[in-house]
Amino acid sequence: MKELKIAMVGFGGIARAHYAGYQMLKEKGTPCTLVAVCDINPDQLTRQIKINTSEIPVTLPKEMHTYTSVYELIANEDFDMADVCLPTYLHKEISVKLLQAGKHVLCEKPMALSSLECEEMLAAAKVSGKQLMIGQCLRFDSPYMHLKNAVESGVYGKLKHLSMSRLSALPIWGFENWFTKTERSGGCILDMHIHDVDMARFLLGEPEAVSVVAHDDVTRWQWENTRLYYPDGVTVEITGSWEETRGTPFVADYRAVFEKATLIRNSGDVTLYVENEAPSVLPQIAGDCYAGEIEYFVHSIVDGTPNTVNSPESACATVKLIEALRASAARDGEKIAYTLK
Ligand SMILES: NC(=O)c1ccc[n+]([C@@H]2O[C@H](COP(=O)([O-])OP(=O)(O)OC[C@H]3O[C@@H](n4cnc5c(N)ncnc54)[C@H](O)[C@@H]3O)[C@@H](O)[C@H]2O)c1
């Protein structure tokens, strides 16, 4: 079986989690090897970075090839796949360059700053014949896989209501403080709220209407409360915030009410509640979500299996839905009809 050679582009905050994922996959025997790391700032290759309240230590081995320019990487390194962990405003430009250079591309979420940019990325992937996947990592995250299984199997009956929240302080670890500049990050709604919006689409497809109350602070759309309306009266309510007091724990919760049970995630395990039964903590069904998404992408390339879990077209559709949420927010939360175009 062919072993994919991988180069990481951007070695800041989230790259640490991907790097740990490559180490897990090496131990597991997944056919991929990280051969190069590129970051415009060489200090990033050794710096420890704290994301919210957690820190992932990293020490690159001496034999790792390192670059400070993606163009030098493309010109001089022999690799098959790039793992793009750059700030969002660079996703389109650099992913397109890498695809044009004949590389498969895994690019972090959000796919790009606008759906127009996403469509350029899709077109570049089509012309190159190489694969593109976006790191919508919740699709590979055990607590959300439980949710997906419950919705698809119908084991607890139909989903009646789902609420999700993802709350943090304003991110301040980024390159040139890019998170805090709306034109570079798209605000919390595109950067972080998108995780749960994408999950709603993954579970239930496109909503038929949306309604969003949001407010701005340092960035636009720094806090938002979204309602997605689905047929049969199913409502998904999602809160996203970059306004929490620094030092408070990062929150990634959900509460899913089915006809016969409720599943609750409080930033950790998932607990199942069934009437007249003791609550039970569900076992983990997958390991680390970053290792999981990389492994899935590597196998889809090496084995030639179709990417049915996380297509780039779906990631583009999620950005389109974010654009509709912004339109509702601009009208003070007016409920507006939604159709994917
Ligand atoms: N999936 C998740 O859970 C998750 C979590 C955090 C961030 N992200 C996403 O990952 C992406 C990166 O976020 P981050 O937190 O790692 O940001 P970051 O600022 O910490 O890291 C970006 C890195 O890119 C480097 N860089 C900037 N311009 C470059 C260039 N032209 N060429 C090469 N390197 C360059 C910077 O020096 C920095 O090290 C963003 O799109 C963000 O939304 C995803």
198: Cβ below 6 Å to ligand 1? Answer: no
3-state secondary structure (DSSP) of residue 234: coil
- For the record, the structure tokens of 35 come out as 């051969």
Which residues lie below 8 Å from residue 129, measured CB to CB, with a gap of 6+?
Answer: none
Which residues lie below 8 Å from residue 8, measured CB to CB, with a gap of 6+?
Answer: 15, 18, 19, 34, 36, 37, 38, 82, 83, 85
CA 175 to ligand 1: nearest atom = 19
- Give yes or no for residue 341 having a pLDDT over 60: yes
CA 137 to ligand 1: nearest atom = 1
- pLDDT tens for each residue of 105-138: 999 999 999 999 999 999 999 999 999 999 999 9
135: Cβ below 6 Å to ligand 1? Answer: yes
pLDDT at 286: 87
- Whose tokens are 């492994």? That residue is 295
Residue ranges per domain, the chain?
4-135+290-306, 139-287+319-337
pLDDT at 246: 94
DSSP collapsed to 3 states, 71-129: HHHHHHCCCCEEEECCCHHHHHHHHHHHHHCCCEEEEECCCCCCHHHHHHHHHHHHHHC
Q: Would you say domain 139-287+319-337 falls under CATH 3.30.360.10?
A: yes
316 φ, ψ to 5°? -65, -40
| Strand locations in the chain (E) | 4-9, 32-38, 50-51, 54-55, 65-67, 81-84, 104-108, 132-135, 159-167, 209-215, 223-229, 235-241, 251-258, 262-266, 270-273, 280-281, 336-337
190: Cβ below 6 Å to ligand 1? Answer: no
**173-187: string of b/e by CB count within 10 Å (b at 16+)?**
ebbeebbbbbebbbb
pLDDT at 52: 58
CA 16 to ligand 1: nearest atom = 16
- Give yes or no for residue 22 having a pLDDT over 80: yes
pLDDT at 1: 62
Alpha helices in 160-286 (DSSP H): 182-185, 187-191, 193-204
pLDDT at 47: 80
Mutation pick for ligand 1 pocket among 54, 85, 93, 322 (CB with most ligand atoms within 8 Å): 85
pLDDT at 119: 98
329 falls in which pLDDT band (50, 70, 90)? very high
Ligand 1 centroid, distance to 269 Cα (angstroms): 28
Mutation pick for ligand 1 pocket among 16, 39, 66, 117 (CB with most ligand atoms within 8 Å): 39
- Give yes or no for residue 238 having a pLDDT over 70: yes
Ligand 1 atom 34, closest CA? 39
- pLDDT tens for each residue of 187-237: 999 999 999 999 999 999 999 999 999 999 999 999 999 999 999 899 999
Ligand 1 centroid, distance to 15 Cα (angstroms): 7
In this structure, CATH architecture of domain 4-135+290-306: 3-Layer(aba) Sandwich (3.40)
- pLDDT tens for each residue of 244-273: 999 999 999 999 999 999 999 998 999 999
Ligand 1 atom 21, closest CA? 12
- Give yes or no for residue 54 having a pLDDT over 90: no
Using a cut of 0.95, tell me whether the model's pTM lies above it. yes
Ligand 1 centroid, distance to 88 Cα (angstroms): 7
- Give yes or no for residue 48 having a pLDDT over 80: no
CA 49 to ligand 1: nearest atom = 20
Cis bond upstream, residue 61 (ω within 30): no
- pLDDT tens for each residue of 70-105: 999 999 999 999 999 999 999 999 999 999 999 999
pLDDT at 53: 57
